[in-house]
Amino acid sequence: MAKYFIAAVLLFKAIVIVANFYNDFDITWSNDHAKILDNGREIQLSLDKESGSAFQSKKEYLFGKYHMHIKLIPNNSAGTVTSFYLSSQGSNHDEIDFEFLGNISGEPYILHTNIYTDGFGNREQQFYLWFDPRATFHTYSVVWSPQLLILLVDNTPIRVFPNNEHLGVPYPNKQPMGVYSSVWDADNWATRGGLVKTDWSKAPFVASFRNFNVLQGSSNGTVQNISSCASTSTSNYTQTSGNQVTQCLNPTQQHRLRWVQKHCMIYNYCNDAKRFPQGFPPECRST
Which residues are designated catalytic? 95, 99
DSSP character string of 205-261: EEEEEEEEEEEES-SSS---------TT----SEEEETTEEEE---HHHHHHHHHHH
Q: From residue 189, how far is each of 172, 193, 270 by CA, in Å?
A: 27, 4, 21
Strands 178-185 and 53-57: antiparallel
- Contacts with 13 (C-beta within 8 Å, 6 or more apart), sequence order: 217, 224, 225, 243, 244
**CA-CA-CA-CA dihedral for 21, 24, 30, 33, to nearest 10:** -10
Please tell me the chain's helix, strand, coil percentages from 3-state DSSP, rounded to the nearest 5.
15, 40, 45
Identify the burial level of 285 via C-beta atoms within 10 angstroms of its C-beta, where 0-12 means exposed, 13-18 middle and 19 or more buried: exposed
Virtual CA dihedral for 57, 175, 144, 61, nearest 10 degrees? Answer: -30
Report the half-sphere exposure of 254 (CA within 13 A, side-chain side): 15
What does the angle CA 12 – CA 63 – CA 212 come to, to the nearest 5 degrees? 85
Pairing of strands 238-241, 110-116: unpaired
